[in-house]
Structure 1
């Protein structure tokens, strides 16, 4: 079994390393084309201006942030920093700048994909089927379900496990083996999730997401504020290292900087521009196209800033203090990240981070079930069985073979994003004129 898993890990690494250098130029070019057409031309001819209201924000933001704001904003960017280091870049802080540059295209994409979904009044599965093919839509749904419940779910398990074992070690000196971590940490979390799924309806999920998100986000901002104040003398060094790495990039296939590849991967994973989940939530709301699109862009920007700047800064400080080593495995690297937090903010910082990790992780896992129900057409019984099965398997990989899980995540990101971007491009090029506003009554055709 160990040999098979090692071979699977090698295969997923090779596939990911080949497809992403090819995909990044395509994504940037198609993204710029789609955004230019939509923002400069299509938007004014297919939608009307509407007043922005906070009541529009709550349902859409709660579902989207509930699915997105998990431990991936830490784990994802730690992996990007580690991969960049392994690729030969010493000043790994540069990935933050590369990610922000990539976001100049990705954030407008989040606006445009939501606007298009509202214009055609279809979720990604339906508009991919209409503008590309039925087969492409099926592949997209499968990739999205595996991505959210299986791959991203495993990332949440890894984060929650790391913060729990770190807390046990610091508070009571208890250390758990990998098998104990799975039995006494992962299995109870899965049990709680499954009970919630069986006992509650989707509207209760949404209401719980709102409060959980507010608590988690507030706690995380408080924590980082404390950390930044206590380490303010390191800020100039962080900026300097980021600029040095940016000016001396390490390249991959076709001369594309590794920092741009890893940075954009993590932005797509964390904030999900181009993935289709933002319009999936937005199309179910009553918001106008422009309002819904603006909300998506705001949420994407919010998550990018949190994940890119906060995680990069704390990790950079940990490396400078010889607490974090990017040669460690993913689990130990995450524990070292928490050790960095404790070294600066003490038990208070650990407690705040514990709240954020647990609440955001549970929220993301509940959000993945909600997105599963939106994107699939299977009955509730089979949906629950599928959800539980994927959680059990991803929980195993999160403890014993996280690298495989993360490589699969990168591949699934590519599949889902490429199909969604392709459908958006087809709409922009061939279909948008069918949805022009009627000049007399200003109503949409579709």
Structure 2
């Protein structure tokens, strides 16, 4: 067994610049000030930073990764034994680990802790850009038959499939160039989630064993997400389909398999045929932003009775259980989202991601963009500033939990309570002006 270490400098030279840019983005939370949501890649409990679809951030320095060749070799030998005990053949193990590489660059990316996150409007500008819309319409035109067959079979609109394809890999132009076995071996040996990485590595071995892909073609992000729509290996085993009937589930080269697998994933996770994901809305002036949480669900008629109105002539979709989300609080647009939005969250449990997919799918279908204005002059708070805000709110009696620098439901609730007590619009959205106010009150 030949084990090699690949320096980060060499790896960077080998990879296209775009791949490195997206890979570097993957190690941080996709949420900005609106949520602390973490993401589920497939059926595994893993944070959003295990996917390539996260918006970029400014990262702080990371610890030096382990470069113990002998230690990596011992880890590979031990993992081989455990995989063999679970039924993986010697042939597959030899194919996978002969010449396996430890890639320090992957450890560096995994350990990055971002100080700043991109504002959601900046993320959406990129994820739902005019260029991406134009390219998506072209791709859906080229692969109209594949999209139509997937929609007919699974009930998921081709525009939703296309939107996920666009957000995840820019329609296959960039799904990463890291060898999946090397990436997951590196993370299994020296990552933050070794147990998760090992389970994904075992699943990747099963994919090789099944003959769906060769090792050299099994490529994707540094975190192990693969192919056009970035399935992690366990999701591949659970949801990938051989749509073109060639005997292989090929999400790297067969667009029929890509579309069928993506639609099957959504259908198996609750996609409701004939329903949209949601729609932009106008909220009444007296709206209680404590109700703008995904856990708060009411029927469309109930929201209408509360003064929620459609923003355009399409009206409001009829949802039995809908939520209102206001990613920028009272400063920006609001949306009413239904069950299919939550299904998109099963693909990646970040509100900004699901919103990007929904809005891009609408644009691909010919709809306009967002009507409301985003507060583009507001700068995001840094992670350190959010931690300071959480600490001060706790001291003032507005419990937010342990300060962690992440805007989650508890922090939004505490912030709304402070705003309410001080005669401010209680939307739970953090701004620098609000932080100054909290500091002044705290003394």
Same fold, TM-score > 0.5, yes or no? no
Kindly indicate whether structure 1 or structure 2 has the higher relative contact order, using CA contacts under 8 Å at least 6 residues apart.
1
Larger radius of gyration: 2
TM-score range, shorter chain: under 0.3
